[in-house]
Amino acid sequence: MTFDPLVIRKDFPIFERSIRDGKRLVYLDSGATSQKPVVVIEAESNFYRNHNAAAHRGAHQLAEEATEALESAREVVANFLGGAVDEIVFTKHSTEALNLLAYSIGNSPVGNRFHLQAGDEIVVSEMEHHANLIPWQQLAKRTGAVLKWFEVTPDGRLDLSNIDGVITNRTKIVALTHQSNVLGTINPLTDLVKRTHQVGAIFILDACQSVPHMPVNVGALDIDFLVFSGHKAVGPTGVGVLWGRANLLDELPPFLFGGSMIESVTMTDATWAPAPRKFEPGVPNMAQIVGLGSALNYLTAIGMQKIHNHEIAITEYAISKLQEIQDLKIVGPVDMNLRGGAVSFTLGDIHPHDLGQFLDNSGIAVRTGHHCAWPLTRKMGVPATTRASFYLYNTLADIDVLFDGVRDAQKYFG
Amino acid sequence: MQLDNLYQEVILDHYKRPQNKKLSANYDAQVHHVNPSCGDEIDLNLTITDGTISNISWDGVGCSISQASVSILTDLLIGKKIDEAYSIFDHFVALMQSKGTVSGDEAVLEDAIALAGVSKYPARIKCALLGWMAFKDASVQAQSKSKLD
């Protein structure tokens, strides 16, 4: 099947509407959240219409069907990532998944391999989203561990000139993003993972910006934990995924306590169900989880490599066009080596918020601000940027509209 | 164009030629406010003399709406009695929160009336209010300080 974004767009009902008095929707904000194909919307709705009951509870047919739907989705996610079914934990979003890890690690008693003490080190980078920075920063404060980080070079790459100096024998956790949500940079993981394991630490990958956009296989990457968000991968909001190696999930203590995560309970004590159940207290977001299963099936049918290739082509075109514009400065790599489909830029003295508002008036949706990565925008020496991010439904024509919009904005504010 | 309701000429003028955008050496209160959703920042110095706002100066980075709004504020409030300034403040905040249902009183708001269009863009209301909230904060601090003196 050939890849045609114009055919793909027909699967997404939102592209049938218009924006700001009849403009065509040019949606360049998939890095924030993706649009949803009709199969996902229907999967979610169908669950409520036909199968709604509390999964893993109840002795009736609907509860059986709800359980089956939930567990089928888990299998889809496991196959999508190349993990085992019991290694998939559903959370509310990837932010919760990262907090789950940080709190569970913080709860680990002496003798547990995750136990942290003063002087242990946690390694992140300057290009982390707040969701993969603050949980570790605060965990370090709570435990007396030391937070260290890889710096970012002026061209928007991780400075990996001294891996062995940053990841040391004291390192317990390395938590890095796979692809920067601001710069578009894809980080090379092989040496980082190797060094992490060499010192006996665990490697946590924030894959929010990679799993929706390229083939990602947890086995091939040899990582220990991975998180991603359903809503960035054409799935519903309200569902995130934590994947962890079975033996690590087994040793990691739970974070949230309550119903369904237990093995046995007395008035004074409790024991835990095996993973993934011990990390999933409360009735899960079943309809959304079912919708995520449908979303990943949809992406798989199209082909993750094809989606990635398409985004690379769009990004390359966008970078070459944007660079033609006077005073426009791309914040992040301009070469396509290890680079994904998020392009941030500044435009002379025109503030990103004003540019974003102007583009919106032409039907173009972009993100403006610091993109929940404030230390990174500070490091890059800009108060804020405008970001265009691409997905399977974007076309080269979208880039042309963006190009014209940016030039018109220069005339308007000039 | 619809956008012209938002970006009135007065706003772009204040953005390009901001008033009182140089922090004074002396002040009764100095505040730093940020808009965490977009990273806009403002420092504002305020001096109150005998119940009258004798000086407001500021520095900051941000979009045209946030920068113009604080520039307009300084023009409007310097020289006003503190009670009168608060009345203008309340007028302005009500206008911003009106979702476009209120046109505002130009006799009270003067150039600030040009920001009326902002109320139809919910994401920009915080931009327009950044400097005003900084002013309110500074004025409270300045007055509590003068009570202590």
DSSP string, A317-354: HHHHHHTTSTTEEEES--S-TTB-SEEEEEETTB-HHH
Last residue of a domain, one of A300, A333, A360: A300
Average pLDDT along chain A: 97
Residue whose C-alpha is closest to residue A280's, from A299, A261, A308, A306: A261
pLDDT at B37: 78
User: In which element (H, E) is residue A248 found?
Assistant: helix A246-251
Instruction: Indicate whether A211 and A225 sit together in one domain.
Output: yes
Instruction: Indicate whether A18 and A64 sit together in one domain.
Output: no
Residue whose C-alpha is closest to residue A294's, from A52, A69, A48, A54: A69
Average pLDDT of span A96-106:
98
Cα separation of B130 and A333, whole Å? 33
Q: What are phi and psi of B45, to 5 degrees?
A: -105, 140
Show which residues of A are catalytic.
Answer: 372
Instruction: Reduce the DSSP state of residue B138 to 3 states and report it.
Output: helix
Kindly list the residues from chain A whose CB atom is less than 8 angstroms away from the CB atom of residue B130.
Answer: none
What percentage of chain A has pLDDT greater than the value 90?
Answer: 96
* For testing contact with chain B, the best of A347, A351, A410 (most B CBs within 10 A): A351
Work out how many domains chain A is built from and give that number: 2
Instruction: Indicate whether A296 and A319 sit together in one domain.
Output: no
Alpha helices in A133-210 (DSSP H): 134-143, 163-166, 190-198
Q: Of A1-5, A97-101, A238-242, B127-131, which gets the smallest average pLDDT?
A: A1-5
What lies within 8 Å, CB to CB, of A141 at 6+ separation is: none
pLDDT tens digits, one per residue of A157-174: 999 999 999 999 999 999
Q: Does B62 sit within 8 Å of A20, measured CB to CB?
A: no
A340: domain CATH number is 3.90.1150.10
Q: Check residue A186 and report its DSSP letter.
A: B
Average pLDDT of span A364-377:
92
Q: Tokens at residue B37, please? A: 């959703």
Q: Check residue A25 and report its DSSP letter.
A: P
Instruction: Indicate whether A155 and A286 sit together in one domain.
Output: yes
Instruction: Indicate whether A92 and A116 sit together in one domain.
Output: yes
pLDDT at A371: 87
Domains along chain B with CATH numbers? 2-143 (3.90.1010.10)
Q: How far is A134 from chain B (nearest CA, A)?
A: 15
pLDDT at B100: 85
Cα separation of A378 and A34, whole Å? 27
A230: domain CATH number is 3.40.640.10
Identify whether the C-beta of residue A228 lies closer than 8 Å to the C-beta of residue A241. Answer: yes
Q: How far is B34 from chain A (nearest CA, A)?
A: 12
Kindly list the residues from chain B whose CB atom is less than 8 angstroms away from the CB atom of residue A370.
Answer: 38-39
Burial B100-131 (b: 16+ CB within 10 A, else e): eeeebeeebbebbbbbbbbbebeebbbbbbbb
Last residue of a domain, one of A251, A269, A300: A300
CA torsion, ordered B73, B61, A374, B3, to nearest 10 deg = 70
Instruction: Indicate whether A202 and A161 sit together in one domain.
Output: yes
Whole-model pTM: value is: 0.94
Q: Does A354 sit within 8 Å of B63, measured CB to CB?
A: yes
pLDDT at A388: 98
Instruction: Indicate whether A230 and A290 sit together in one domain.
Output: yes
Instruction: Indicate whether A115 and A248 sit together in one domain.
Output: yes
pLDDT above 80: residue B2: no
Kindly list the residues from chain B whose CB atom is less than 8 angstroms away from the CB atom of residue A377.
Answer: 39
Q: Does A361 sit within 8 Å of B2, measured CB to CB?
A: yes
What is the domain range of residue A222?
41-300
- Total count of residues recorded for chain B: 149
What are the C-alpha distances in Å from A212 to residues A175, A179, A341, B84?
Answer: 19, 11, 11, 55
Domain-located, residue A324: yes
Q: Does B41 sit within 8 Å of A353, measured CB to CB?
A: no
Average pLDDT of span B15-19:
94
Q: What is the CB-side half-sphere exposure of residue B112 using CA atoms within 13 A?
A: 29
User: In which element (H, E) is residue A387 found?
Assistant: strand A385-389
pLDDT above 90: residue A2: no
Confidence tier at A98 by pLDDT (50, 70, 90): very high
Nearest CA in chain A to B41: A383
Q: Does A352 sit within 8 Å of B3, measured CB to CB?
A: no
Kindly list the residues from chain A whose CB atom is less than 8 angstroms away from the CB atom of residue B3.
Answer: 357-358, 361, 412
Q: Check residue A185 and report its DSSP letter.
A: B
Average pLDDT of span A27-52:
98
Instruction: Indicate whether A288 and A346 sit together in one domain.
Output: no
Instruction: Indicate whether A209 and A313 sit together in one domain.
Output: no
Q: What is the CB-side half-sphere exposure of residue A260 using CA atoms within 13 A?
A: 14
Domain-located, residue A244: yes
Q: What are phi and psi of A317, to 5 degrees?
A: -65, -45
What are the C-alpha distances in Å from A45 to residues A49, A75, A379?
Answer: 6, 20, 44
Average pLDDT of span A248-270:
96
Percent helix, strand and coil across chain A, each to the nearest 5: 40, 20, 40
Identify whether the C-beta of residue A159 lies closer than 8 Å to the C-beta of residue A151. Answer: yes
pLDDT tens digits, one per residue of A309-342: 999 999 999 999 999 999 999 999 999 999 999 9
What are the C-alpha distances in Å from A78 to residues A243, A297, A299, A302?
Answer: 8, 12, 14, 18
Please name the residues between 23 and 82 in chain B that touch chain A, using a CB distance below 8 Å: 37-41, 61-66
Q: How far is B139 from chain A (nearest CA, A)?
A: 27
pLDDT tens digits, one per residue of B79-99: 999 999 999 999 999 999 999
Nearest CA in chain B to A356: B63
pLDDT at B1: 66
pLDDT above 90: residue B146: no
Domain-located, residue A36: no
Domain-located, residue A119: yes
Average pLDDT along chain B: 93
Average pLDDT of span A8-15:
98
Identify whether the C-beta of residue A376 lies closer than 8 Å to the C-beta of residue A152. Answer: yes
Instruction: Indicate whether A113 and A252 sit together in one domain.
Output: yes
Cα separation of A98 and A122, whole Å? 14
pLDDT at A141: 97
User: Going edge to edge, which strands form the sheet with A121-125?
Assistant: A88-91, A240-244, A225-229, A202-206, A171-177, A121-125, A146-150
β-strands A18-19, A225-229: how paired? Answer: unpaired
CA torsion, ordered A205, A229, A36, A63, to nearest 10 deg = 130
Last residue of a domain, one of A300, A331, A360: A300
Average pLDDT of span B40-61:
96
Residue whose C-alpha is closest to residue A204's, from A178, A170, A179: A178
Instruction: Indicate whether A322 and A338 sit together in one domain.
Output: yes
Q: Does A384 sit within 8 Å of B7, measured CB to CB?
A: no
Nearest CA in chain B to A383: B39
pLDDT tens digits, one per residue of A260-294: 999 999 999 999 999 999 999 999 999 999 999 99
Identify whether the C-beta of residue A225 lies closer than 8 Å to the C-beta of residue A203. Answer: yes
Q: What are phi and psi of A24, to 5 degrees?
A: -70, 140
Domain-located, residue A35: no
Kindly list the residues from chain A whose CB atom is less than 8 angstroms away from the CB atom of residue B38.
Answer: 352-353, 368-370, 384
pLDDT tens digits, one per residue of A69-83: 999 999 999 999 999
